[in-house]
Structure 1
Amino acid sequence: MRTSIATVSLSGSLTEKLAAAARAGFDGVELFENDLLASPLTPEEVRARAADLGLALYLYQPMRDVEAVPAEEFARNLRRAAHKFRLMRRLGTDTVLVCSSVAPTAVDDDALAAEQLSALAGLAQEHGVRVAYEALAWGRHVSTYDHAWRVVAAADHPALGLCLDSFHILARGSAPEGVAALPGEKIFFLQLADAPMLAMDVLQWSRHYRCFPGQGGLDVTGLVRAAVRAGYRGPLSLEVFNDVFRQAEAGSTAVDARRSLVALQEAAGLGAPPASVAPTGVAFAELVTPDTEPVTGLLRALGFARTARHASKPVDLWSQGEARVLVNTASATRRDGLTVAAIGLESPDPAAAAERAETLLAPVLPRRRAAEDAPLDAVAAPDGTELFFCATDRPGLPSWTDDFRPLPHRAADPPNAAPGESPDQAPYQDSGPGIDGVDHLALTQPWHQFDEAALFHRTVLGLQAHGSVDIADPYGLLRSRAVTNEDGSVRIALAVGPAPTDDAARPQHVALATRDIVAVARRLRDAGHLLRIPDNYYDDLAAQFALDPDQLATYREFGILYDRDDGGAFRHCYTTAVDRVFFEIVQRDPGYLGFGARNAPIRLAAQHARHAAHL
């Protein structure tokens, strides 16, 4: 189906909004009146600009407080409408949105409303215009779509129909299935918006918290299915009022919006993009740094060894168990410090995963590579993290490991390297189990891209999005949301900070799985890389859980935090941070599915305290 977005959903000038919508691949726009009034372009120039960009002007909006008013006031409304209809002909658009009245002068009289709307439609028809009547959820007398339909049916004018808005319908608790009973030819326009489930005044909810389909909790998919069953064949149009979108760059917002419609059509059975290809594991995490010494010292303390080097780039491979960390100095800057720049995701079909990503508006990134380098497809997540689709060491498929040349390794008495061997090539310690693999990754998103990131990881990567969690930080609230594959072999925790900050301040961390957290924590403590946890935490832990006193004493000594649910126990500790990157060590019982969220405020406070002490 054709796709559209209301210009009010994007930031910037009208010309910027039109350009962003066109670049994202929309077929047209709803033109918001204020955008036209504030534009230096004439209506004819707006029409030409849209046409040059390949955009149709599907709707002009809004007209307000028209119907069920005293005769004198309605006469003024008709004069105002005649001007708008003439303007619309200059713009080249033929449908106007009329919202149900919220005026204090409006009366509760459906017959009068139908009579006046019929007169308005008659005037519109003279100008070649249709009137799409929409029930606002906070309308003074008409606030539901079925009530609006009764008024439209009573008016019985061919130029008068309905505009259905998913927010106004679903926010009132109306069942979307009822829309299927409407005559399709009378559904003139369909506006779509999602929203998180909030207990608040519906007007404030609408004006500030709408989001794109798939980012909230409303059954937008069910409503679209019902409208199509009714016979609607017009565009799917997004009308989203959101404080974040009003401040974010229009281009990225438009791409996010268009992606939501592609995914919505797939869910509603209206489109068939390439099938989702969920990742099956984490191949590697790539760290970019201008100075290798701090991070390599930390990796050695964790038990990693430098096992290979890229054949043509300054990139080293550090390995332990199934965990692989790449340390890259090729594009690092002093300003950014150490960052998690890329993640390798094991894919059962890398080519199909890349094709899916392109269809969902995540273009494959250009990659500088030597002729002999393995061909790897990568896309950029909303926060800029590069995501590689990998088939590590699988027969018949190119593997990223083919680009690396193994380094000779000799046994040594830890923690010293053997003669002629780089210390990086010797494990820091070899007593007891170490790191087995990557448990999860945690990436803090730019403040305006949190919902976009969740939608991206769900639709592009095929991961399951879990509920949002609020976490107390000493300086505000963090919002976190996990995305995982079905068996938990890929877990990514997305978070957004308490306030807009410079990207360089956003923390990132890699959580590493172990079968013996005490052994790894001891290594970190001995090397001076362990984050200390306040004693008060352990006093409270003793009251929360019936832990053995010796076990509790061990946790206290090594800064190990503890959580438990019906599925089992979760033990974790943290390294000190290098710039904004740190590691988490995790010992997870198989049935425990969380991330230790109850302990996050303790970790955040400990990190803030350590940072303050080292200023």
Structure 2
Amino acid sequence: MRKSIATVCLSGSLTEKLTATARAGFDGVEIFENDLLASPLTPEEIRARCADLGLTIDLYQPMRDVEGVPEEEFVRTLRRAEHKFDVMRRLGADTLLVCSSVSPWAVDDDALAAGQLARLADLAQEFGIRVAYEALAWGRHVSTYDHAWRIVETAGHPALGVCLDSFHILSRGSEPKDLEGIADIPGEKIFFLQLADAPLMAMDVLQWSRHYRCFPGQGGLDVTSFVRHVVNAGYRGPLSLEVFNDVFRQADAGSTAVDALRSLIALEESAGLSPLPAPVVPSGVAFAELATADPQPVTELLAGLGFRRTGRHTGKPVELWEQGDARILLNHGTATRGDGTALTALGLEIPDPRAAAHRAESLLAPVLPRRRSGQDVPLDSVAAPDGTELFFCATRHPEHPDWTGDFKAEVHPPQAGSADGNITGVDHVALTQPWHQFDEAVLFHLTVLGLRPHERVDLADPYGLFRSRALSGGTDGAAAPRLVLNLAPSPAAETGTRAQHIAFTTGDIVTAARRIRAAGVELLRIPSNYYEDLDARHAFAPGELDTYRELGILYDRDDRGGEFRHCYTATVGRVFFEIVQRTGGYGGYGAANAPVRLAAQRR
């Protein structure tokens, strides 16, 4: 289906919004009246600009407080409408959005409302324009789509239809049965369809609407079922986004527009309207790549954790460090982001790397050019919204190129110490997102990689709110790979909360922590007050809590008896490491301990 977006979704001037919309790949645009009024371009120039960009103007909006008003007020409304229709004719727009009235003058009289909307449609028809009537969720007398349809049906005018808006319908807590009435509306009378999602929040619906809408797939509303009902009713117009969001209004219009179009492509797939290449869900983390201009601090830290350098790249200044199934690439030939060691790339274990890359391209993931010699193993890679490179790998797979073939092996003697205290693999990787890309990053990883979301968690940071959302590849929401997307309190947050981190698994965290400390690695110091609170909340074996206090091990237990023990290294540049031990099916990430950890990192 054709895809459109309202200019109110994007930041910038009208010209900037139109350019971003076209570059993202949209077919059309809704012109929000405030954007037109603030533009120095005439309607004719805007029309020409849209034509040059390959955009149609699918809707002009909004017109408010039209129906159910006293006659003298309605006469003034018709005069206002005539001006709008003339502007629309100059723009080349043929559909006007009319919102249900919130005027204190409006009366609860469906016959009056139908008659006045019919008179408005008469005038619109003279200009070759249609009127799409929409029920606002906070409308004074008309607040539901079925009520709006009854009024339109009573009016019986060919130039009058309805606009169905997913937010206004679903925000009222609509059950699946509440959407069945859409089938009673003839498809040709659904003049327009507007789409938005939103996080589930207990607040005034008007404030919810004006500040917290997001693109489909980024919130908690069932936009997919809503679209199915509308299309099954016979609607064949564009899928159009209308999102009011404080973050989007400040973010780069170009990346927001791409995020918006990706949401519609994914929505078409979920609603069964347009197939995409099937998701190829990663099975684990092949490697994490750290870039640094000064490798010594991080190599000392890796060595202290028990990693060994097992290979050097045959053509680049990149080292391979391994322990168990955990692999770190240390790249000291690539510039970092200006503040030391940084996590710049992830290799994801993929059963079919080429198919994963094909899906990523279909969902607008930017394919990254890779500088390589003729001997280098070819790897498909794309960029995540925060710039992290994602490589699709099949490590030591007989049917796919093995990326480890680029490294000349180094032989080391067997590792000493207890195997129970060794690192065995990567548990999860936590990526701190730019403040304006959190929702975009969640949607990207869900749709491109086919991961499953956990509930969003808001945590108390000493200097603000720290938002976190985990994504995983398993049907139980806890299987590898696990990615955790974090949003730091502010763009200027300090290193402790801006850092990315890699969590490694071990079968015995006490042995691991003792071995790591004996190797000279400093673990994060946790206040005694934390352990006194633990003692009050949980029963421990004699001496167990004292051991955790000594080593800086944090503890969490879920309501099913699953246990989580974890500790942290100091931060090097923008990276720190976590050691974790999961028992009893624990599927979380120790969120209850995060405020203590964040405060300790601040110190």
TM-score category (smaller protein): over 0.9
What is the aligned partner in structure 2 of residue 33 from structure 1?
33
Moved more, 272-281 or 484-493: 484-493
What is the aligned partner in structure 2 of residue 417 from structure 1?
none
Is the aligned partner of 1:533 residue 2:526? yes
Match of 2:350 among 342, 347, 353: 347
Question: 1:56-205 counterparts in 2 under 5 A?
Answer: 56-174=56-174, 175-205=178-208
Shift of 1:186: 0.6
Question: 1:397-416 counterparts in 2 under 5 A?
Answer: 397-410=400-413
Question: 1:230-379 counterparts in 2 under 5 A?
Answer: 230-333=233-336, 335-379=338-382
Contact 2:7 2:31 in 1 (8 A): yes
Q: Secondary structure at the match of 2:456?
A: strand
What is the aligned partner in structure 1 of residue 3 from structure 2?
3
RMSD: 1.4
What is the aligned partner in structure 2 of residue 477 from structure 1?
465
What is the aligned partner in structure 1 of residue 590 from structure 2?
596
Give 2:547's aligned amino acid.
T
Question: 1:428-447 counterparts in 2 under 5 A?
Answer: 433-447=421-435
Is the aligned partner of 1:523 residue 2:519? no
> C-alpha offsets along residues 55-110 of structure 1, whole Å, 9 cap, x if unaligned?
11000001111111111111111111111111111111100000111111111111
Q: Secondary structure at the match of 2:259?
A: helix
Shift of 1:538: 1.2
Match of 1:493 among 484, 489, 500: 484
Give 1:552's aligned amino acid.
L
Q: Secondary structure at the match of 1:133?
A: strand
| Distance in 1 between residues matched to 2:385 and 2:199, nearest whole Å | 20
> C-alpha offsets along residues 379-428 of structure 1, whole Å, 9 cap, x if unaligned?
111111111000111113111111111123346xxxxxxxxxxxxxxx68
Contact 1:290 1:334 in 2 (8 A): no
What is the aligned partner in structure 1 of residue 15 from structure 2?
15
Is the aligned partner of 1:513 residue 2:505? yes
Shift of 1:269: 0.4
> C-alpha offsets along residues 507-566 of structure 1, whole Å, 9 cap, x if unaligned?
110000001111221133231421111111111111111101211111111111111121
Shift of 1:38: 1.0
Q: Secondary structure at the match of 2:158?
A: coil
Shift of 1:567: 4.9
Shift of 1:34: 1.0
Q: Secondary structure at the match of 1:62?
A: strand
Question: 1:188-227 counterparts in 2 under 5 A?
Answer: 188-227=191-230
> C-alpha offsets along residues 418-449 of structure 1, whole Å, 9 cap, x if unaligned?
xxxxxxxxx68667531000000111111111
Moved more, 80-89 or 318-327: 80-89
| Distance in 2 between residues matched to 1:150 and 1:380, nearest whole Å | 49
Match of 1:563 among 556, 569, 575: 556
Q: Secondary structure at the match of 2:594?
A: helix
Contact 2:289 2:328 in 1 (8 A): yes
Off by >2 Å, runs of 4+ in structure 1: 173-178, 408-411, 427-433, 499-505, 523-526
Moved more, 176-185 or 19-28: 176-185
Give 1:494's aligned amino acid.
L
Moved more, 274-283 or 167-176: 167-176
Give 1:570's aligned amino acid.
F
| Distance in 1 between residues matched to 2:420 and 2:562, nearest whole Å | 23
| Distance in 1 between residues matched to 2:336 and 2:481, nearest whole Å | 29
Contact 1:446 1:503 in 2 (8 A): no
| Distance in 2 between residues matched to 1:499 and 1:453, nearest whole Å | 17
Q: Secondary structure at the match of 2:533?
A: helix
| Distance in 1 between residues matched to 2:542 and 2:599, nearest whole Å | 25
Q: Secondary structure at the match of 2:449?
A: coil
Contact 1:69 1:105 in 2 (8 A): yes
| Distance in 1 between residues matched to 2:168 and 2:191, nearest whole Å | 16
| Distance in 1 between residues matched to 2:17 and 2:428, nearest whole Å | 38
Contact 2:521 2:569 in 1 (8 A): no
Q: Secondary structure at the match of 1:460?
A: helix
| Distance in 1 between residues matched to 2:215 and 2:200, nearest whole Å | 14
| Distance in 2 between residues matched to 1:396 and 1:431, nearest whole Å | 31
Identity among equivalent pairs (%): 71
Moved more, 496-505 or 118-127: 496-505
| Distance in 2 between residues matched to 1:196 and 1:298, nearest whole Å | 40
Give the number of equivalent residue pairs: 594
Structure 1 unaligned blocks of 5 or more: 412-426, 610-615
Shift of 1:31: 0.6
Closer, same or farther: CA 131–503 of 1 in aligned 2, 3 Å = farther
Give 1:460's aligned amino acid.
V
TM-score, normalization by structure 2 = 0.96
| Distance in 1 between residues matched to 2:113 and 2:535, nearest whole Å | 68
| Distance in 2 between residues matched to 1:428 and 1:324, nearest whole Å | 19
What is the aligned partner in structure 2 of residue 586 from structure 1?
580
Contact 2:101 2:142 in 1 (8 A): yes
| Distance in 1 between residues matched to 2:253 and 2:417, nearest whole Å | 51
Match of 2:544 among 540, 547, 551: 551
| Distance in 1 between residues matched to 2:274 and 2:201, nearest whole Å | 31
What is the aligned partner in structure 1 of residue 451 from structure 2?
463
Shift of 1:336: 2.7
What is the aligned partner in structure 2 of residue 424 from structure 1?
none
Contact 1:303 1:429 in 2 (8 A): no
| Distance in 1 between residues matched to 2:55 and 2:486, nearest whole Å | 36
| Distance in 2 between residues matched to 1:471 and 1:369, nearest whole Å | 42
Contact 1:301 1:428 in 2 (8 A): no
What is the aligned partner in structure 2 of residue 422 from structure 1?
none
Contact 1:7 1:30 in 2 (8 A): yes
Contact 1:178 1:226 in 2 (8 A): no
Give 1:498's aligned amino acid.
P
Give 2:293's aligned amino acid.
P
| Distance in 1 between residues matched to 2:283 and 2:442, nearest whole Å | 18
| Distance in 2 between residues matched to 1:466 and 1:432, nearest whole Å | 30
Contact 1:303 1:428 in 2 (8 A): no
| Distance in 2 between residues matched to 1:169 and 1:394, nearest whole Å | 49
What is the aligned partner in structure 2 of residue 421 from structure 1?
none
Structure 2 unaligned blocks of 5 or more: none
| Distance in 2 between residues matched to 1:453 and 1:52, nearest whole Å | 31
| Distance in 2 between residues matched to 1:567 and 1:336, nearest whole Å | 41
